[in-house]
Amino acid sequence: MKYYDKLIFECSKPGRVGYTLPANAFPKAEGLPQGLCRRQAPALPEVSEPEVVRHYTLLSQMNFGVDSGFYPLGSCTMKYNPKINEEVAAMPAFAGLHPLQSAPGAEKVLEEMDKALAEITGLSRFTFAPCAGAHGELTGLMLMRQYHLNRGDNARTKVIVPDSAHGTNPASAAVAGLEVVEVKSLSNGRVDVEALKGLLDEHVAGMMMTNPNTLGLFETQIEEIAALVHGVGGLMYYDGANMNPLMGLVRPGDMGFDIMHLNLHKTFSTPHGGGGPGSGPVGVAAPLVPCLDQIRVSAWHGNFGVILRAYAYILMLGREHLAKVGEYAVLSANYIKECLKDVYKLPIEGVCKHEFVFDGLVNDGAHDEVPGATTLDVAKRLLDFGFHAPTIYFPLLFHQALMIEPTETESKETIDAFIAVMRRIAEEAAEDPTLLQEAPHTTPVSRPDETTAARSPILTFQDA
């Protein structure tokens, strides 16, 4: 790979053109306020077409994505995105639509997608307005509040969130103007139901849960939890980030959830991360359907092109194969876990769902007499072997958390290659930890100074 970090402006040569426009046939506008008139030409880069193409192609080669390699980023479901999704989204009849246009075809897609997601989740109706997961959470919590207000109950100010939750859960609740109350996990990684009982009263608006939770463990007492929260008049919110292992097998609506969001860019194979945008449709149970018309979080129907891609994915797999997604995702995660648990610390034994968390290496470097390395070192070293690093230092329940989610779309060969590399890294940690501590050795950038970057960030381009 060729190292390349130029800006398009650095490629610019005065007077160079890539495209010549015809002469302007319109007269110059008269009478515009002076303050609004441009006094000099805009500072656009002056480059030829091949320079533009090379510039962006080289930049794209500096990137790592699921199209270039294995990406086991826990909690993010970095599955392969089938190219037929792109083909459907690029169809001119969809791609050329204007939001104000009457478009029966697009409306039909939304209608069918609503039915499909309702069937998959066991809820009644979906709104497609939210543009990402956290946007969905905020929408869901606004719906939760609205539901209580509609009943004339304005005393519900608390939202219960487990300590294993995604950071977005308490953040969304706070933005929605609700008070966050944390409930602890037991040593088996599940919500402490006895502790939960102590938090429940008539001020609880609802409880947010992810199931399976961020440790990849199914909350086995979910029915009891939902009954307890409902018992005091609260609602259950399902964070759909971890829906992948359950699709077609178990439904949040049947577990007792009243509101949920889905991350189409995770579970339903639409582009994710830098390649987004995302889509976070929110579904509600029947009693909350009227609230959907009372909350407005974005214009139109959210990111329609993303919804379309997810719709293509659902139709392509169909009911039978959607249920296979979770089975393969769970199998892959458990296979990796069992193959590595002798050299990486597994804090909670047992069968996981689509992801699991190690608490760092067995040789974690915490004891001076035994050589070892930290989770950060393992993650950095993985880059040398062409794998994206897993999620690290999350969830906060374990100090050296290393969270692996392989997804269902990887072959056994890829997964075996990853396991072999993880074992090799564990050996290196014991024999030559500096190899890990100085990694990565093969990437264009090794270890950026994250601390200085966070303490004194330089947020604009500075000529070196």
Partner 1 sequence: MSKIIEGLKYSESHEWVKVEGNVAVIGVTDFAQKEMGDITYVDVPDVDDSFEAGEDFGALESVKASSDLYCPVSGKVVEVNEELEDAPEKVNEDAFAAWIIKVEMSDASELDALMDAAAYKAMIGE
Residues making contact with partner 1 (CB under 8 A)? 393, 396, 399, 450-451, 454-455
Report, in Å, the least distance between residue 56 CB and partner 1: 31
SS3 of residue 389 by DSSP = coil
**Alpha helix ranges (H) inside 341-439:** 375-384, 412-431, 433-437
Report, in Å, the least distance between residue 325 CB and partner 1: 32
Nearest CB to partner 1, comparing residues 94 and 393:
393
Report, in Å, the least distance between residue 347 CB and partner 1: 17
DSSP string, 256-303: T-SEEEE-HHHHT----GGG------EEE-GGGGGGGGT---SSTTS-
In DSSP terms, which residues pair with 185 in a beta bridge? 191
Report, in Å, the least distance between residue 409 CB and partner 1: 30
Nearest CB to partner 1, comparing residues 2 and 455:
455
Nearest CB to partner 1, comparing residues 181 and 352:
181
User: How many residues in total does the chain contain?
Assistant: 464
Q: Give the span between the Cα atoms of 324 and 436, in whole angstroms.
A: 37
Report, in Å, the least distance between residue 167 CB and partner 1: 8
Query: Residues with Cβ < 8 Å from 435, sequence gap 6 or more?
Result: 381, 428
Report, in Å, the least distance between residue 173 CB and partner 1: 15
Nearest CB to partner 1, comparing residues 335 and 393:
393
- H/E element, 206: strand 204-209
The one-letter code for the residue type at 190 is: R
HSE-CB of 290 using CA atoms within 13 angstroms:
7
DSSP E strands in 220-258: the ranges are: 235-240
Which conformational region is residue 360 in: left (phi greater than 0), alpha (psi within -120 to 50 degrees), or beta? Answer: left
Distance of CA 403 to the CA centre of its chain: 14
Nearest CB to partner 1, comparing residues 151 and 399:
399
Report, in Å, the least distance between residue 450 CB and partner 1: 5
Nearest CB to partner 1, comparing residues 445 and 454:
454
Nearest CB to partner 1, comparing residues 399 and 441:
399
